[in-house]
Structure 1
Amino acid sequence: MTHKIPFDYDFLSGEDYVDTFVAYVNLSDKQIKESGDFIADGHFTGELVDLPGKVFDKIRDAILDDAYKMARKMKIGEQKGTGECLAPMEDV
């Protein structure tokens, strides 16, 4: 089974804060369990980089894809999504 999990991220244009948006990531039961096991094994700083590589890559890619779409929609040239220190939204 897969779960659609929201991750919020800040959108920056250059160094200027624009807004906070939400990107959704589909994670399988296996990926969620692996993430929980990884955290329980001592990787618990609260940063996304402290997740298994494949899970982190999936979340990062979803955030960057969403940020790119938002930049095009808002007609902003340079974009940078920051999500490394964020956790899934609580109201899932």
Structure 2
Amino acid sequence: MYFEDATKKQLLQICLFEDCPIEYKYEAARDLQLRQWHDEYLPKLVRLWGEGKSSFQIAIEIGIEQNAVIHRLAKYGLYGRRVTNNKGA
């Protein structure tokens, strides 16, 4: 079973409601915790956003949900605002 491919909703389902071995519940809970936002992600988030990466690409790179990336970008006033460097213009 690949917990890293599961959605947040699927992991919660395993943790709370599925009749499965305790090891599966532990792995699902562990993966949920790893996907939470940590303040150490902020410099990486800003750097990747500045490099022109999409919220989807950033989510994959950092290992959190895309909605969490969008929320943090909006919280810090970055979402929807991207400065591009047009050296040739």
Flag whether TM exceeds 0.5 (same fold). no
Structure with more relative contact order (C-alpha pairs < 8 Å, separation 6 or more): 1
Larger radius of gyration: 2
- The alignment's TM-score, normalised by the length of structure 2, stands at 0.30
Say which structure is richer in helix: 2
